[in-house]
Structure 1
């Protein structure tokens, strides 16, 4: 991957369908989230199609599935398939894995194998869908130990989710698990763990900013929302205290980088900060470049 030639690094994209056509979400949740995000047309690109899509835009993309088998009963897109696609398209795809924290010791073994044998760069957690508090020591802490030890990244969904939105009872998905303050405990207990808080964390935006400002290893990605809806305090911190810790993410395929970037161009972001958000901060965090310039 030639980072210097990339226009941007999207740190938040989803593999939603396997090569055999298996979807990672049940049909009702898929339909509801498409309605929530006002998605038009097909939103189930294959990994091959995702690679072509980002290559056409001269971008790289972090890609992952969500393993919430215990809570949903739905098998995820296999982590191995995601990693193999990234290996086949190293110029544009960067693999993350996702492991249901309730897999226990088997999940811990899988995490280590995904790093050592498949070269994944990080792990995606979705507390609301997976049904766990990130700071529950009995659930995910053994996974965090492997992630910290291997120098990979833990990416946590935070805030409200479009998954289950509009379905009776939210399909049983509880928002409380995704308060970023729960991740503050993780950052305190694993001081060398690299963490990304995904999304503007509505209704806990101030909490997310506080955690990222206080804990050196915590970053924020801007995925899942059009930038025109970003709260003013997020823009203020991105321009100042967190200018080296805020990352471009789209949430593709529910939100395209084209739409995100068009709206981002209209924000009052400092000229010196814009390239940090779009590429430099992610490249450094992922170990693709040398430390950031002042």
Structure 2
């Protein structure tokens, strides 16, 4: 099984939001004028042999780019290829708790994602702590971004070391840190090694661009800690997986990376 641990089937609001303008330097694509059809996303997954993509809701201050209900619609239309990751208005923690609880218990979502740079605060911010407690109660992972930001927003909230404190305060909480953590990849590996329930996904990077220290970790004692991700639609799965066979992963490490770890952590049958 191949599972993409970080993607989003975007709404047109999400695709056109100015916060992503800087990313177009890399994709060399203009802002779309029409929403991406669900068929395009599913075809992209099929092309790379991806069985499931975890697709995110996006809640930013004063703006909902992809709502939980829109994610639920995409999931329903995907015939099992998409699974939801919830979000909420973290400026209103009680509202966020109610909304995320609904998304998990009623809509069947598999986790919660908080993008700290959107809120310009680190993951240790007090507003997020009730969400972490809720994740523990619901038994779902907390997903986040680590490393510098492509959007022109502060990168400091993406320092992996902030997750050390979160993991100390919530040892039961499963934390999935996306985007490798560059330029602090060694820091991310140190936090994942220290804490049983901290994991890393490789979204936003092609296999040929994984830092050497991450590849060594995947080959050895970190093989149960790293999972595949794309950050679709910024990157397709086919592009993200190009060069995978050059990494020197044995069969066990490759299977865990491509799907086994995500299957276990997110409870995907």
TM-score strictly above 0.5:
yes
Q: Distance in 2 between matches of 1:261 and 1:278?
A: 9
Q: Which residue of 1 aligns with 2:187?
A: 207
**Which deviations, in whole Å up to 9, do the C-alpha atoms of 1:97-144 show, x marking residues without a partner?**
1223212211111111111111110011111122221112x2110111
Question: SS state of the match for residue 176, structure 2?
Answer: strand
Query: Quick check: 1:53 aligned with 2:44?
Result: yes
Taking the aligned partners of 1:40 and 1:105, their CA distance within structure 2 comes to: 38
Cα-Cα RMSD: 2.0
Give the match's secondary structure for 2:85: strand
Match of 1:65 among 57, 63, 79: 57
**Where does residue 260 of structure 2 map in the other structure?**
280
Q: Is the CA contact 1:205–1:234 (under 8 Å) kept in the aligned structure 2?
A: yes
* C-alpha distance in 2 between matches for 1:270 and 1:56: 24
The CA distance in 2 between the partners of 1:9 and 1:46, in whole Å, is 21
Aligned to 1:103: 92
In 2: Cα distance, 1:44 partner to 1:218 partner? 34
Structure 2 CA distance for partners of 1:41 and 1:203, relative to 1, 3 Å: same
Q: Is the 8 A contact 2:48 2:238 kept in 1?
A: no
Q: Deviation digits for residues 171-215 of structure 1, max 9, x if unmatched? A: xx2111111111111111111111101012112111100110011
In the superposition, relative to structure 1, how do residues 263 and 39 fare at CA in structure 2: closer, same or farther (>3 Å)?
Answer: farther
2:88–2:96 contact (8 Å) kept in structure 1: yes
Partner SS state of residue 120, structure 1? coil
Tell me, which stretches of 5 or more residues in structure 2 are unaligned?
Answer: none
Kindly state the Cα deviation for residue 35 of structure 1 after the two structures are TM-superposed.
Answer: 1.4
Work out the number of aligned pairs and report it: 267
Q: TM-score, normalised by structure 1?
A: 0.84
Mapping for residues 30-179 of structure 1, pairs under 5 Å: 30-39=20-29, 45-55=36-46, 57-59=48-50, 60-68=52-60, 70=61, 73-136=62-125, 138-164=126-152, 173-179=153-159
SS across alignment from 1:75: strand
Long gaps (5+) in structure 1: 1-5, 165-172, 290-294
1:13 partnered with 2:2: no
Structure 1 Cα separation of the partners of residues 172 and 69 of structure 2: 26
Q: CA deviation at 1:81?
A: 1.4
- Cα deviation per residue 1:71-114 (whole Å; 9 max; x = unaligned)? xx432211111023213434211110122321221111111111
